[in-house]
Chains A and B, each alone.
Chain A
Amino acid sequence: MPSNVRLHLAVDQLAPMRIDPHAGLYWWLDALSSLPTTPACVTVTTTVQGEDDPPETGGAPLDALTWVVGADCFPGVAAPWLRPHDRYRLERWPDLTLVPYSVEHLHLTALLANGLLTVPELAELGGVPTASAQRLINAFTLMGVVAAEGGPLVPPAGPVPTLRAVSWQTDAGVPASVTRPASGHAGLLGRLLQRLGR
């Protein structure tokens, strides 16, 4: 996509959202928490920023938006642009100071930063249900922070998927039978997280 293209997102009757994918910024008057998980209508249009247009200032990091949308779009199942059996590795750490992450997200992200993993492997090593690991991979592929071993991922052409109402808290879905690896909550990390009340 050329660097001067801007996306405009209209969600239901909310104020329009403007996105600069190249700069990784978005502009929206509302807080992300007001973004509906089950919108009735989502319209995406594009415009081209002219050379003479005034420079855009402000803007919020796109990571925060794509984190929320990517996690909520396909709860527990693979996003349609993903291929079965692909392995994933982190190409860039998401800026966790900007997003509402949980301890599970921290563990899973650190695993992807250091390993090349399928979704089931990620779930097993992270001690979380496969659906939770899948949700993180969905979000990370939308954010563009992971690479798939099978080559570039291409989202399918077509309508924007309907957002679904789900909670982005993996802790809530962890069944009692799942055993987390000892390293998950032991060691300095576990003690530090406890000390910091995380």
Chain B
Amino acid sequence: MAEHIILLAGPMGAGKTTAVRSLSDIDSVSTEAANTERDQVDKPTTTVALDYGEITVGAEEKLRLYGMPGQRRFDFMWSILQERAHGVLVLIGGDSSDALGEVVTWVDEFATLRERGAMVVVLTRTDLAGSPSVPQVSSELSRLRPGALIPVLSADTRDRRALETVLTVLVANIEMRQMLANHAPEVVR
């Protein structure tokens, strides 16, 4: 059985649990507990271990979706999991008071995957007032972290179709990068 681990990372309240639930073929497994940091994010519960879901690609192939806890005290899990991961979706809430700062912070946490082109930033809740636009986030990210171009897309985490697009962009970016490196290295940027 071929398995590909896709991480969903980002700060608490960005929509990771909902995204795993929307994408998963199976009933997703969540590890919710009472949120003791309601001064930071006002929601009653939060993920304390992992959210888990999966997409069956074929009889012998699966995508395993790991929604990771957003609190920094769980950062030991981030480094362990990114070693095994095929790619990461970094979810950031557009309604955050410092969405741009959070994008940079989380992109840096997964530098190994970023350098492989195995990262997509997903801006959620862009319909709320004060959210930066996708072009604004993308431009700022390119300015602050030049190098591999990181796709930035918007998505409602309840919208499976939009999340499927995000997922295919992640996989396409990884595969085209590898294809160019192997077959047309002279045009690799």
Interface residues of A (CB under 8 A from B): 23-25, 57, 61, 63, 89-93, 95-98, 101, 106-107, 109-111, 113-117, 121, 125, 181, 183, 187-189, 191-193, 195-196, 198
Q: How far is the CA of A97 from the CA of B177 in the complex (A)?
A: 21
Whether B180 contacts A115 by the Cβ 8 Å rule is yes
When each residue 107-130 of chain B gets 1 if its CB lies under 8 Å from chain A and 0 otherwise, what string results?
Answer: 000000000010000000000010
Q: How far is the CA of A25 from the CA of B133 in the complex (A)?
A: 9
When each residue 134-157 of chain B gets 1 if its CB lies under 8 Å from chain A and 0 otherwise, what string results?
Answer: 111011001000000101111100
Complex A-B, nearest 8 residue pairs according to Cβ-Cβ distance, in ascending order: A110-B176, A93-B151, A183-B179, A110-B172, A115-B187, A114-B177, A92-B138, A97-B162
Task: List, in ascending order, chain A residues with CB within 8 A of B176's CB.
Answer: 107, 110-111, 113-114, 183
Whether B138 contacts A125 by the Cβ 8 Å rule is no
Whether B149 contacts A93 by the Cβ 8 Å rule is yes
Interface size class of B (residues with CB under 8 A): 35 or more
When each residue 7-38 of chain B gets 1 if its CB lies under 8 Å from chain A and 0 otherwise, what string results?
Answer: 00000000000000000000000000000000
Q: How far is the CA of A90 from the CA of B135 in the complex (A)?
A: 13
Task: List, in ascending order, chain A residues with CB within 8 A of B117's CB.
Answer: 113-114
Whether A192 contacts B171 by the Cβ 8 Å rule is yes
Partner of A111, one of B142, B152, B169, B180: B180
Partner of B153, one of A25, A90, A96, A198: A96
Contacts known (A114-B177, A188-B4); A23 close to B133, Cβ less than 8 A: yes
Q: How far is the CA of A98 from the CA of B177 in the complex (A)?
A: 24
Query: Could you tell me which residues of chain B, from 75 to 130, have a CB within 8 Å of some CB in chain A?
Result: 86, 117, 129
Closest Cβ–Cβ distance, residue B124 to chain A (whole Å):
11
Whether B188 contacts A189 by the Cβ 8 Å rule is no
Task: List, in ascending order, chain B residues with CB within 8 A of A109's CB.
Answer: 172
Q: How far is the CA of A98 from the CA of B156 in the complex (A)?
A: 11
Closest Cβ–Cβ distance, residue B50 to chain A (whole Å):
22
Q: How far is the CA of A107 from the CA of B176 in the complex (A)?
A: 7
